[in-house]
Amino acid sequence: MTSKQSHFRFLCTFVYVYFFAQAMSMSLLALWLRSTLQLSGTETGIVFSANFIAAMCSQPVYGYLSDKVGMRKHVLWAVGLMCMLSGLFLVYVYGPLLKTHILAGAALGGIYLGITFIAGSYAIESYVDRIGRAYGFEYSRVRLWGSLGFASAAFLTGRLYNVDPHINFILASCAGLLLVLMLALWRLPEHDTVAAAGAKLRLADAVALLRDPAFWRFMAFVLTVTNIYLVYDQQFPSYFASQFADKATGAAMFGYLNSLQIFVEAAGLFVSPLLVRRIGAKNGLLLAGSIMIVRIAGSGLAVGPVSISAMKMLHSFELPILVVSIFRYIAHHFDNRLASTVYMVGVSFGHSLGLALLSPLVGKAYDLIGFNHTYLLLAAIGAGCLICSAFALSPTPPEVKPAAPVGEAANASL
């Protein structure tokens, strides 16, 4: 087995297990907060806001350190160890504290969940992209295993939630333990080129991004279009469950549908690089944004389980196009030495900043005007931001890739 194949297979497995843990901890978090802990929409918004404030503070650090350490496993170790503790934290610390001291619980939980499952997921994705560029395999072909891991967990979460929500959290800890064991066994040879690039990176290089107009135009797209979609998605499980006769049925059906959607999403991650190369990264971002707006508006107009399920399935087409377009856009317009910094600040930090501001406001809107009207308002705002982004984003030409020699075709499939 070549080094390329070995690292590809390890990262596929690692990403699968990590996203399994993330789904077990986070996919029904809104339902757990509102149904089990009996928090209001406003209180749930405060909790999510705290999560993203903590993630926002950690993301620039994650990004700079990732670029600095190159391909060394420091970031993976940190995230893996935090995952391993997730079940104990959620069951014995987070839940009880939210019931008695909402602000203290939101703050402490925000630090833990923000670093582990929000900023942590972006850090792992950036690390995968770095290894993929060094060893010659496609990021999205690894990331699709993350979708499969999330889908595998999502298939179980609804049923396990109805038995006891804490089972999901304990399984997340078990997955974290597996991550730590995998890291202890994985040997990644030092890559001189990447290590040298990381060693030469200075803090001033990262700070210089703040003077780059192209960076701010890219971040504006993240702060507006993608954030509106993400804040819409936070409490969607609770709205989805309300479309059914009882919440237990709704929770189980959300788990099944979420699993199906993510399996389709995994197939999309396999083919989306072909589409994005053909239309260019900027057009890929705009296409993904358009699908987001349709899903948000459609959710506001949906009536009953069938139509709301159809809107949920649109996510499986939008996400693959978005994630591939983001990495291709960064690779085309920014210094490769700063790829992790651009991703963690421009995308991850941008998401957390926007969601920290929007989560309480949108949570309040759910309480005041209901889910349907809030979704239509978000769609209208998102459509306006998407039109502005069409002019603000830097042009990105389609990629014309020369045909690979016959002997290399098998390796290219990775």
Tell me: the pLDDT tens digits for 370-384? 888 999 999 999 999
Which of the 8 DSSP states describes residue 395? Answer: P
Query: Taking the CB of residue 39, how many other CB atoms lie within 10 A of it?
Result: 22
Q: What percent of the chain has pLDDT over 70?
A: 89
Cα(91)–Cα(291) distance, rounded to whole angstroms?
36
DSSP element (H, E) containing 273 = helix 247-279
Tell me the CA distances in angstroms from 239 to 164, 247, 271, 318, 381, one per residue in order. 21, 10, 31, 20, 20
Instruction: Check pLDDT > 80 for residue 335.
Output: no
Give me the mean pLDDT over the 315-331 stretch.
87
Q: Alpha-carbon distance 389 to 29, whole Å?
A: 32
State the pLDDT at residue 197: 45
Query: Which tokens is 47 given?
Result: 């909790």
What is the band of 388 on the pLDDT scale with cuts at 50, 70, 90? very high
Check: CB of residue 378 under 8 Å from CB of residue 227: no
What pLDDT is stored for residue 288 in this prediction?
93
Of 165, 14, 13, 175, nearest in space to 84 by CA:
175
| Share above pLDDT 90 across residues of the chain, in percent, rounded to a whole number | 20
CB 86 within 8 A of CB 116: yes
Domains, the chain, in order of start with CATH, read 1-188 (1.20.1250.20), 199-398 (1.20.1250.20)
pLDDT for res 405: 45
Mean pLDDT of the residues in the chain: 82
**In the predicted model, what is the mean pLDDT of residues 38-55?**
79
Q: Which pair of structure tokens corresponds to residue 164?
A: 């006891």
Average pLDDT over residues 171-178: 94
Residue 226 CA to residue 229 CA, distance in Å, equals 5
pLDDT in tens, 194-250: 444 444 656 676 677 778 888 889 888 888 888 888 888 877 877 888 888 777 778
- Phi-psi region for residue 370, left (φ > 0), alpha (ψ -120 to 50) or beta? left
- With a cut of 90, say whether residue 171 has pLDDT above it: yes
- By the 8 A CB rule, do 286 and 181 touch? no
pLDDT at 189: 61
Q: From CA 414, how far away is CA 397, in angstroms rounded? A: 24
Q: How confident is the model at residue 345 (pLDDT cuts 50, 70, 90)?
A: confident
Per-residue model confidence (pLDDT) at position 202: 66
Question: What is residue 377's predicted lDDT score, i.e. its pLDDT?
Answer: 93
Q: Is the pLDDT of residue 404 over 50?
A: no
Side-chain-side CA neighbours of residue 77 (13 Å):
9
b/e per residue, 307-327, with b = 16+ CB within 10 A? ebbebbebbbbbbbbbbbbbb
Q: Which of 118-122, 221-225, 295-299 has the highest mean pLDDT?
A: 295-299
Residue 413 pLDDT > 50, yes or no? no
Confidence of residue 153 (pLDDT cuts 50, 70, 90): confident
Angle at 86 between CA 83 and CA 91, to 5 degrees: 170
